[in-house]
Amino acid sequence: MKFTKTLLLGTAAGLMAASSAFAADLPVKAKAVEYVKICSLYGAGFYYIPGTDTCIKLGGYLRADANLNTNSDYNPNQSGTAGARNRLANYYTFRAREDLNIDTRTATEYGVVRTYFDAVFTWTTGNYTPTGSGTGATQYSGTLGLNAAGTGLVGSNGSGAVNSTDGNTSGGGLGVYYAFIQFAGFTMGKAVSQFDAPWTNYPGNNVDNLVGGSGTVTGVTQFTYTADFGQGITAAFSAEDATQYYQAGNLNMTGATTAGILGGSYGTNAIGGSRSPNLVAQVRVDQAWGLFQASVAAHDNHVGYYGASEVTGHPDDKWGWAVQLALSIKNIPTGAGDVINIQGVYTDGATRYNFQNLSGSSYALYGSSGLAGAYGSVGFANAPDTVFVTGSSQETVKTWGFRGAYTHNWDAFWNTALYGAYAQAQFGTLAKTTLCGAGGAAGVFGSLAGVTGCNPDFAIGQLGIITRWTPVKNLTFSADLSWTHLDQKYSGTVAASPNVITAKPTAVYELKDQDTLSLLLRAQRNW
């Protein structure tokens, strides 16, 4: 009996142990998984961030560019080494770029709170820039610096490099294009200027350098309020940073030299520290038929001193201004999706609203000449915001221009755009007297032997055609051929010693208009 009792107790204990071990192997009920949910409030591509009521959308593109007959990704041969148009300038420039943008939106009792960030990671062929004279000491350079427009990190420039990574084997550059918050009608941060037309630099083209209007394609820091009146009618008031996009130059022409003038510089740039942002107002009507927009801007020209120290004195500030009208016409009878985009602008002391940042406003191009005794030809021009001489006040430079394009869709896969632009700069009495002489006074340039006509006024004309092929959704191949013409008002000849970076000899050059062509080939995948 005792043995039986012991056996039963032992068996029960073993069963309990086995049962316990078996229970330990059973699956435990998992916590509920928070699946990513589609957010349909703000259009396709938005998702709720798990655990929040904020919606997020990721986007961007991968782009590969091949640029022919240019030392730059976005400018034609215009000045410096590129303007020399000889063996020292690149005949092609390559670029690879990845763009990433992040859009977040949250509904609140004050309306939608939005943040937007857009950055690019870019590799660009380095510029070929001489470092010596007559010794072949040249190099592919990525020297840290600013482009001709005074802006950093947007790509290589025709006369120099923009960032130190251009051309590095595995280098590259980071550019922050947009980073802003929108809340209760306010936009705070880096965004496209409220002055710009909706198509910024691109009425129908891919090239960045069109004159004839404003264009802040990499964003300008601003504080803006936008009022929405319904029916597609809005108005915006904005204070925008002037220091990166909008300073074409305040030149002390007392420092003008023959060599500098031939290089497209009419004096010493004397821009002072920032005092006021640009003040912008805009009214826009956006309807099914298209769009109309009117923009105005005020720009404070604040310079340093006449000389190297405070005791030399300074001119007073001079306010400049600009006005622009833009029109887009849709649903035209030539085909579904066809569109005409046009804009016109006038500036007085605010040149960058016409000769925009990526076009620049300084030109020095060399070419051939059929004139007996001339080694070659040269055309040059410069359009700052203001000019002055020691002891004088600032004199504004006036400009006007327009740009536009007509885009036709051949079918769902092919479209072609014809585009053009024109801008003219006009100087005042002080500038013309200093450079060219008046009333018997000898000008810096007009008094030179061989110069038969002297006038700093000039115009830029541009024409182009682009064809795009989209074989599958969001993948596009394009070819963009553009022509730029410099219409300068100088005539005769000049004996000159050009800048060493051009490798041009000291010789006689004909003063002559210049033309240049460039071709941009692009493959782009949007996602």
Helix (H) or strand (E) holding 417: strand 414-426
The 10s digit of each residue's pLDDT in 238-278 is 999 999 899 999 999 998 988 889 888 899 999 999 999 99
Largest CA distance in the chain: 142
Q: What are phi and psi of 13, to 5 degrees?
A: -65, -40
| Cα–Cα distance, 506 to 133 (Å, whole number) | 12
In whole angstroms, what is the distance from residue 30 CA to residue 40 CA?
29
Residue 76 pLDDT exceeds 90:
no
CA atoms of 284 and 342, how far apart (whole Å): 15
When pLDDT is cut at 50, 70 and 90, the band that residue 282 belongs to is very high
C-alpha 122/C-alpha 116 separation (Å) is 20
Q: Cα separations (Å) of 363 from 259, 355, 382, 453, 515?
A: 13, 12, 6, 18, 11
Q: Which two tokens stand for residue 240?
A: 């925008």
Domain boundaries, the chain: 61-526
Three-state DSSP class for residue 432: helix
Residue 397 has pLDDT above 50, yes or no: yes
What stretches of 389-504 show up as alpha helix (H) in DSSP? Answer: 429-436
Is pLDDT above 80 for 15?
Answer: no
User: Percentage of the chain with pLDDT > 70?
Assistant: 84
Confidence class for position 130, pLDDT limits 50, 70, 90:
low
Element (H, E) at 123: strand 111-124
The proportion of the chain whose per-residue pLDDT surpasses 90, expressed as a percent, equals 71
Question: Which pLDDT score is estimated for 32?
Answer: 55
Other beta carbons within 10 angstroms of residue 506's beta carbon come to 9
Q: What is the pLDDT of residue 151?
A: 30
Q: How far apart are CA 322 and CA 298, in angstroms?
A: 7
pLDDT at 28: 54
Q: Distance between CA 322 and CA 215 in Å, rounded? A: 13
How confident is the model at residue 75, as a pLDDT?
Answer: 73
Looking at residue 257, what DSSP letter applies? -
Contact by Cβ (8 Å): 385, 105: no
Q: Is the pLDDT of residue 506 over 70?
A: yes
Mean local confidence (pLDDT), 346-358 = 96
Q: How far apart are the first and last CA of the chain?
A: 83
CA atoms of 319 and 338, how far apart (whole Å): 40
pLDDT at 142: 44
Measured CA distances, 94 to 66, 131, 519 (Å): 5, 22, 12
Q: What is the pLDDT of residue 77?
A: 83
| Cα distances (Å, whole numbers) of residue 499 to 93, 133, 362, 366, 369 | 23, 10, 15, 12, 19
- Checking if the pLDDT of 134 tops 50, the result is no
- Residue 316 DSSP label: P
Rounded Cα–Cα distance for residues 382 and 425 (Å):
9
E strand or H helix at 12 = helix 2-25
Q: Are 166 and 156 in contact (CB under 8 A)?
A: yes
The CATH number corresponding to 61-526 among 2.40.170, 3.30.1490, 1.10.10, 2.60.40 equals 2.40.170
The mean pLDDT value for 436-440 works out to: 73
Enumerate residues 6+ apart whose C-beta is below 8 A from 246.
Answer: 240, 278, 299, 350, 352, 353
Is the pTM here over 0.75, yes or no? Answer: yes
Q: Which is more confident, 189 or 10?
A: 189
Using CA atoms, how far residue 174 sits from 44, 73, 141, 206, in Å, is 28, 16, 18, 21
Chain-centroid distance, C-alpha 437 = 36
